[in-house]
Amino acid sequence: MTEKVELSRPLVVGRKRDGRSCYDREAKRELVEACLQPGISIARMALEHGVNANLLRRWIDQYRGVQTPVVAAHPLPLPAFVPVVSTVAPEPTALALSVVFPNGVKLDLNGIGAAALPQLLTCLVRLPCSASIPG
């Protein structure tokens, strides 16, 4: 574990009316530079110097020049025109139907179109079945 980093100046130089602390710029810079050393814990440094870790992280980001994203109060207006992309409907594929009935009859229908399938099924339903014919 590393030793506590001593700053050349006091970090807190005063208080604002609302009770928040005022910090010395040079002391802040020293603390941030110490935090940027390899193996240094920002949370530990914040605790040792009586600063909130989130505040110290913000100082580090400011030191590095990282801009925090600002959310716009009003969303950006949408464009007046939206491009329309035309797509070609895919060609209907031919269906293949293969049925083996319990009485051994085989029905193979290859190449039937999707439009003709309902009509074909209706016709098949209407056909008499040997199991349904009284014997």
User: Looking at the DSSP assignment, which residues form a beta bridge with residue 98?
Assistant: 108
In our burial notation (b when 16+ CB lie closer than 10 A, e otherwise), range 73-83 reads eeeeeeeeeee
Q: How many CB atoms lie within 10 A of CB 28?
A: 20
Q: What percent of the chain has pLDDT over 70?
A: 80
Altogether, the residues listed in the chain come to a count of 135
pLDDT over 70 (residue 10):
yes
The reported pLDDT for the residue numbered 127 is: 76
Helices 42-49, 53-64: inter-axial angle, 10-degree rounding: 120
Is residue 128 very low, low, confident or very high in pLDDT (cuts 50, 70, 90)? confident
Task: For the chain, give every domain's residue range.
Answer: 12-64, 95-126
The reported pLDDT for the residue numbered 63 is: 92
- What's the whole-model pTM score? 0.47
The reported pLDDT for the residue numbered 83 is: 77
The reported pLDDT for the residue numbered 113 is: 74
In tens, the pLDDT along 55-107 reads 999 999 999 987 656 666 666 677 777 777 878 776 666 677 787 877 777 87
